[in-house]
Amino acid sequence: MHRRVGPAAAVFRGRVTGSAARLRSSALPILQCAIAAGVAWWVATSVIGHSQAFFAPIAAVVSLGLSLGARLRRSIELVCGVAIGIGVGDLLVSQIGSGPWQIALVVAMAMGTAVMLNSGPIFSMQAGNSAVLVATLLPPGGSGGIERMVDALVGGLVGIAVVALIPTHPVRRARKNAADILSTAASVLRDVESGLVENTPAPIVDALKTARATQPAIDAMRSNLKGGHEISRLSPLYWNSRNRLARLTAAADPLDNAMRNIRVLSRRSLTVVRDDEILDPRIVAVIADVADALDVLHDMAMAEPGEHPDQADAARVLRTVAKKLKPDLVEGAGVSATVVFAQLRSLLVDLMQVAGLRRISAIALLPPTVERPAYPPQE
């Protein structure tokens, strides 16, 4: 006999599964940080000869982090922040000594200087941290300041070297983000279709909530794309991924715009149902067709180079759907039905760009919304 799983056990199992998934996705960045910390300490102590090189492994870990985006910038900001903090700390502490109010003043001056230099958050935070350590641990004017700056440089450089030698795949994470967004978009449209067919708002309300919750995934995709570009520049192992990364980057804005159009489409579909507005059943059928096309785009995003479906396959499916959006679908329709129709056209333009078409080419594939004027006869 099968034992029934209670709600508490199901929640616990879900949390364990989620924790395991997060650990798997972060396993390589954790390994990179661990190796970089150990190597940075060894270089600073055994090669350079610093006796207290604690800042080298710290700099290596901070410069890498668990996020893939802007690691090179983090390393530069880290070293510059340390230099600012040590410089301001040495200058002030040597004049005013060390104590509670002196520490407060040193931190304020160091972070203020970093902010005035138009720095990022790591820059100003490291300036403040370094100033605290100068005011409390390092003798002002001694060699400690110079050694800390060298240790920060060592940590940052080791972090960059680890990224180059043990790289995360520059495309895989962003590709998975894009595929998940496309899958969610298809699910949202199917819920919208269900609500329109059944003339009930509940599925569309759920669809709208799901669509509005996709922005963090889009932001994560952009961050992973930025990190992927860094890896493709730093690591010789992935120089050949630049073209694929460029195609995925070109699809990021259209994919973002597509989700925004889906949100508007969902909201207007909800209005259609609540106001009992007439909507041509052919428009509902097109919504289902777009959901099916999104499945093809999802498979395209997850396909390896040379596999199918590719961009040409996805574009072919989308062109077939686009031909159905003729203006007679909204003859005599209300405002919300017309907006749903317009959003579908805009959505297809966005999705065709995800499939590699230029915007002007995608627009040209849509049926004209007004009759083209006839040319006057030649005299």
Residue pLDDT, tens place only, 104-137: 888 898 888 888 876 567 778 878 877 887 777 6
- Which pLDDT score, from 0 to 100, does residue 139 have? 55
State the pLDDT confidence band at 3, using cuts at 50, 70 and 90. Answer: low
Q: Is the peptide bond before 309 cis (omega within 30 degrees of 0)?
A: yes
Determine the 3-state secondary structure of 170 from DSSP. coil
Average pLDDT over residues 150-160: 83
Give the phi and the psi of residue 282 in degrees, each rounded to 5. -65, -30
Of 91-105, 110-124, 200-214, give the range with the top mean pLDDT: 200-214
* 143 class by beta-carbon count within 10 Å (0-12 exposed, 13-18 middle, 19+ buried): exposed
Amino acid, single-letter form, for residue 37: A
Q: Which two tokens stand for residue 53?
A: 């090189």
Domain 172-364 has CATH 1.10.3470: no
Judged against a pLDDT cut of 80, whether residue 238 lies above it is answered with no
- Residue of 246, 247, 223 lying closest to 173 (CA atoms): 223
- Which pLDDT score, from 0 to 100, does residue 351 have? 96
- In the block, tokens 């599964």 appear at 17
Q: Which two tokens stand for residue 238?
A: 């992935």
Q: Tell me how crowded residue 153 is: count the other CB atoms within 10 A of its CB.
A: 19
Q: Which two tokens stand for residue 298?
A: 């999802």
Average pLDDT over residues 88-98: 78
Amino acid, single-letter form, for residue 261: N
- Residue of 324, 325, 327, 303 lying closest to 314 (CA atoms): 303
Average pLDDT over residues 220-234: 81
Determine the 3-state secondary structure of 370 from DSSP. coil
Domain ranges of the chain: 28-165, 172-364
Lowest mean pLDDT among 72-86, 111-125, 139-153, 200-214: 139-153
**Higher pLDDT, residue 273 or 59:** 273
Average pLDDT over residues 66-84: 69
The pLDDT tens digits for 278-322 are: 889 999 999 999 999 999 999 999 888 888 899 999 999 999 999
Q: Is the peptide bond before 170 cis (omega within 30 degrees of 0)?
A: no
Mean of per-residue pLDDT scores for the chain: 83
CA 306 – CA 303 distance, rounded (Å): 8
Lowest mean pLDDT among 166-170, 183-187, 311-315: 166-170
Q: Report the share of the chain in percent with pLDDT over 90.
A: 40
Rg over CA atoms, the chain: 28
**Higher pLDDT, residue 356 or 11:** 356
- Which pLDDT score, from 0 to 100, does residue 18 have? 67
Judged against a pLDDT cut of 70, whether residue 66 lies above it is answered with no
Judged against a pLDDT cut of 60, whether residue 140 lies above it is answered with no
Amino acid, single-letter form, for residue 186: A
Judged against a pLDDT cut of 60, whether residue 71 lies above it is answered with yes
- In the block, tokens 């490291």 appear at 126
- The H or E element that residue 104 is part of is helix 100-116
